[in-house]
A and B are shown apart, each in its own frame.
Chain A
Amino acid sequence: MTRKVEATNIRVSYNEFEALQDINFTLENGKVYGLIGRNGAGKTSLLSVLAAYRKATSGEMKIDGVNIFENEKAMAQVTFVHQTDYKDNHDTITKYFDLAERFRPTFDRKYAEQLVQLFHLPTNKPLRKLSAGMQSAFNVTIGLASRTPVTIFDEAYQGMDAPTREIFYNEVLEEQARNPRIFILSTHLISEMEYLFDEVLIIHQGTLLLQEEVDTLLERGYSVTGPTSDVIEVVAGLHVLNEEQLGGTKSMMLYGELTEEKADEINRKDLEIGNVSLHELFIHLTKEGM
């Protein structure tokens, strides 16, 4: 069965504040989605609707054609991993594995125990005594081992050191190969996690700026560098994201399809075409006032 998540005209408002407006997208099984956006862009609000943590003010969020909110079958298919406050929590990891086993039919305890070893987590200590990084690793363990068709990690890496994050990323890729599902990774560590994404969704000020395959998106961003007057001439009419000047040399970051004619023109003028990273594209696409 094809697992599909469809968002139609999702709007979320808190009193007067519009957190999300008119969000539409489709997510398909077997893909890792990167959800990126600046602080307060609406990422967590969107993921909350997707995980049935809150009802959208209007619009529909469906999994395989069924509205997720308050639907037993649909809700059971989504795991939402987010920062959780364990400071008053006296339960152990083992106890949470029992709970996951009881309520998540797809939970793989053996795999969860393997992850515990990989992350070096103590299973007999209360969660409140674990470091922030270990608590995050525990959250990730539940998310990975629950093996629900939709698995969401909302900045799940917080407090993890670099080697631990690396284990987490590797496991996402390996799990995707073993048990393909929809992974959604909401993150601020774009450069570090870029290689995991099949597609990227950028949210900006409550709206979905774009949903694009990473490769396509990267093809749309490029830079042109050379003598100032030539560069200005060649970029006329193009969507300029950023420009930098060093003496008589100008470098401009552009967004949009690079047509063959335009590439020829740039080459004729002996200007340099460069790549732009997802990180840079994100920064300039979500600049204030854009």
Chain B
Amino acid sequence: MNAMGKKIGADLYLAQMKWVAWYLPILYIAYIAIVWFLDEPDIRSMSLLTFTFQTTTIFMLVCGIISSSVFLTLYVKYGVTRKSYFQGALLSAIGLAITVIGLTTILTWIVRIFNINVFKEVVLSSLGVNSWLLTSVSYFFVVMIYFLVGWLIGLGFYRYGGAGGFVTIVVALVVVSVNDLLWSFNTPKPLMGLFNFEIPVPNVVVAMIASFAIATIMAIAVYKIVKETPIKIA
């Protein structure tokens, strides 16, 4: 990681945290309102962390999709290499995922301590009632994978146009679906609902290693595409 990569990482983290500063409070209020007013057992048992995680997958996907068209162009224009942009954007996404998941884990834990009646039926995650570290780490991996596939799609369209962009969408669909098979978190995976495809949920360690491998492969794919991407003049 070079100095410029870190500098861009810090800048992008702050820029995207401005969006988080809107997104998270709204989400928390929505969660409280839903649990309070809806008498759905599925929802009443969902923890704040799991609820936030589910929507954060899409939030990170969008951050990934717009990254290239907004930030890559800007930084190259100001004399920054694609490599430094890549490092910075990846670093900022890691920071973003840690902040959102970390902050929400702490809040969820506080809610648990206060033992509020409305949240009595809440279960932390499908990984267990008290799996704080495991749940937050696995959620971190999953939202990172959503960011990376978003990044791939955004870059696919930026560099290759419509046809190439479509290929990256297909790759993204496969990746998020395979990843959800590993975890069974029921994360958003359009189209896959059409197929009745089930495998036994693997061991958590296997899922963790496989997710890490998927994330690494995606990051390498993004880097391979970004490192020679021509900048658009518009």
A253 to chain B, nearest CB (A): 35
Is the pair A100, B78 in contact by a Cβ cutoff of 8 Å? yes
Contact of B227 among A53, A70, A79, A80 (CB under 8 A): A70
- 19 further interface pairs, Cβ-Cβ under 8 Å (given A75-B80, A80-B77): A44-B233, A48-B230, A48-B231, A52-B81, A53-B76, A53-B233, A55-B228, A70-B82, A70-B83, A71-B81, A72-B80, A75-B76, A75-B81, A77-B79, A79-B79, A82-B233, A102-B7, A102-B11, A103-B75
A76 at the interface (CB under 8 A from B): yes
Is the pair A83, B76 in contact by a Cβ cutoff of 8 Å? no
Is the pair A72, B230 in contact by a Cβ cutoff of 8 Å? no
B4 at the interface (CB under 8 A from A): yes
Q: What residues of chain A lie closer than 8 Å to B77, measured between beta carbons?
A: 80
Smallest CB-CB separation from A78: which chain B residue? B79
Is the pair A72, B2 in contact by a Cβ cutoff of 8 Å? yes
User: How far apart are the CA atoms of A117 and B84 in the complex, in Å?
Assistant: 34
Range of interface residues on chain A? 20 to 34
Give per-residue flags for B1-36: 1 if the beta carbon is below 8 A from chain A beta carbons, else 0: 010100100010000000000000000000000000
Give B64-85 interface residues, CB cut-off 8 Å to A.
74-84
User: How far apart are the CA atoms of A228 and B218 in the complex, in Å?
Assistant: 74
Chain B interfacial positions (CB closer than 8 Å to A): 2, 4, 7, 11, 74-84, 227-228, 230-231, 233-234
User: How far apart are the CA atoms of A54 and B78 in the complex, in Å?
Assistant: 14
- What's the count of A-B pairs with C-beta under 8 Å? 52
User: How far apart are the CA atoms of A70 and B230 in the complex, in Å?
Assistant: 11
Smallest CB-CB separation from B83: which chain A residue? A70
B70 to chain A, nearest CB (A): 10
A109 at the interface (CB under 8 A from B): no
